[in-house]
């Protein structure tokens, strides 16, 4: 199995897309080879910042603990997502501008923790290349960070845990731009938390309906969010200099931003519930048909 890189420098770096390609070997994607860490670190670029949040060691430790957490608890690798997403977000303390650089995520996947990517995403003896270098909703670490960023409610990461515990939310909802409206994202998580939607087909049906409805209905108007302030985020980033390592037991606290207005979230929960009741869910009608047959038997 792919192991931890033999060389780990002190600071994280950027591995541009063009450079990352040459490390995506067949052997790595099959989980058989390690990454050539010395060679890799020769082509990385330095981070645009030099503060302590750029230290490599805390990130490496966190990822190892995520694997240990699953192994110790007898959990599946997919269950690492809900544990790691909020903690990774709180450990990295990035702005969205910084997080939009794919080179950062390429470096985490290839330079810091290729063993994690293989452990988490190996299926049918192969890891899809976009788990190492890919779009934000596919790449092994970018998807966790963006899930945490888009589903957190201000400083509260608990909606992130709910969202990441459902692989269908991660696979379907995360790539849709409707969730860039905070109250919409919160309403969807609440429907998952309440158990209104659980299966993959239900998530797909709901997301399809929410997306289609957004073409004629402006959620920003029926469920307004508070005005965005960047100060709490920038303060939180500055605190990284003195912050302790993120807790392995407790959920960390995110930037002290204003929470999503409750009225807006509950308005959308009601609206989405109605949409979902009318949405065609693949298999739902079939189930009804089967029940009907059973009754006549």
Partner 1 sequence: MKVYPYRRLTGNVSWRVDSAQLKTEGEPWEDVESKYVSTVERVVALGPNDDRPDWTQARLRLSANLPAKAVDGGSPWQDVKVVAVLTERATNTRTAVELSPIATDGRELTGELYLHRCDLLDRATLAVHVVATVGGVRGRVIATTDAEWFVDVIETAPSLARELDVKLVGFESGASRLRRFKDSPWVVDTTGRIPAVRVNTDFDGLEGLMGGEGGNGAEKTVRELLLTQMCSEVWTAVFHSAVGDLEIEEDGTPLFPHGWQGEVLRAMLPDIHPDRDPEDALREIHAARTGTSATGWGELQPRIHFAASKRAGVPRTLSTTIRDLERLTQGDDA
Site string for partner 1, 108-127 (x = CB under 8 A): --------------------
Is residue 61 packed enough to be buried (19+ CB in 10 Å), middle (13-18) or exposed (0-12)? middle
Please identify, among the stretches 68-76, 92-100, 110-118, 239-247, the one whose residues bind partner 1 according to the rule CB under 8 A: 92-100
SS3 state at 126: strand
Site for partner 1 in 144-203 (CB under 8 A): 146, 149-150, 175, 177, 180-181
CA–CA separation, 204 vs 200, rounded Å?
6
Is residue 287 packed enough to be buried (19+ CB in 10 Å), middle (13-18) or exposed (0-12)? exposed
Q: Which residues lie across from 153 on neighbouring strands?
A: 156
Cα radius of gyration (the chain) = 21
Number of residues that bind partner 1 (CB under 8 A): 38
Site for partner 1 in 33-72 (CB under 8 A): 43
Q: How far is the CB of 128 from partner 1 (least distance, A)?
A: 13
Site for partner 1 in 219-248 (CB under 8 A): 219-222, 224-225, 227-228, 230, 233-234
Q: Tell me whether residue 135 or residue 247 sits nearer to partner 1 (CB atom).
A: 135
Residue 226 backbone class (left: φ over 0; alpha: ψ -120 to 50; beta: rest): beta
Q: Tell me whether residue 216 or residue 296 sits nearer to partner 1 (CB atom).
A: 216
CA–CA separation, 259 vs 225, rounded Å?
9
* Chain positions contacting partner 1, by CB under 8 A: 16-19, 21-22, 43, 95-101, 136, 146, 149-150, 175, 177, 180-181, 204, 215-222, 224-225, 227-228, 230, 233-234
């Amino acid at each position: 199995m792919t192991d931890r890189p033999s060389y780990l420098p002190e600071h994280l770096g950027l591995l541009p897309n063009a450079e990352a390609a040459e490390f995506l070997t067949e052997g790595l994607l099959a989980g058989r080879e390690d990454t050539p860490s010395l060679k890799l670190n020769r082509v990385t670029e330095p981070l645009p910042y030099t503060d302590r949040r750029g230290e490599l060691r805390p990130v490496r430790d966190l990822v190892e603990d995520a694997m240990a957490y699953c192994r110790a608890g007898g959990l599946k690798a997919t269950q690492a997502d809900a544990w790691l997403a909020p903690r990774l977000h709180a450990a990295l303390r990035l702005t969205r501008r910084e997080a939009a650089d794919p080179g950062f995520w390429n470096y985490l996947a290839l330079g810091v923790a290729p063993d994690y990517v293989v452990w988490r995403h190996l299926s049918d003896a192969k890891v899809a290349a976009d788990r190492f270098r890919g779009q934000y909703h596919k790449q092994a670490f970018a998807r966790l960070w963006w899930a945490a960023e888009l589903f957190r409610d201000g400083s509260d990461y608990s909606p992130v845990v709910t969202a990441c515990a459902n692989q269908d939310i991660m696979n379907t909802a995360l790539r849709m731009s409707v969730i860039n409206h905070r109250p919409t994202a919160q309403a969807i998580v609440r429907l998952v938390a309440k158990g209104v939607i659980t299966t993959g087909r239900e998530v797909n049906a709901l997301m399809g309906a929410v997306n289609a409805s957004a073409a004629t209905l402006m959620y920003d108007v029926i469920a307004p969010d508070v005005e965005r302030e960047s100060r709490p985020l920038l303060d939180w980033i500055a605190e990284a200099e003195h912050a302790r390592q993120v807790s392995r037991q407790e959920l960390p606290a995110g930037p002290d931003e204003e929470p999503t207005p409750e009225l807006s979230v509950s308005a959308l929960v009601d609206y989405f519930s109605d949409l979902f009741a009318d949405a065609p869910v693949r298999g739902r009608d079939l189930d009804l048909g089967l029940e009907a047959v059973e009754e006549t038997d």
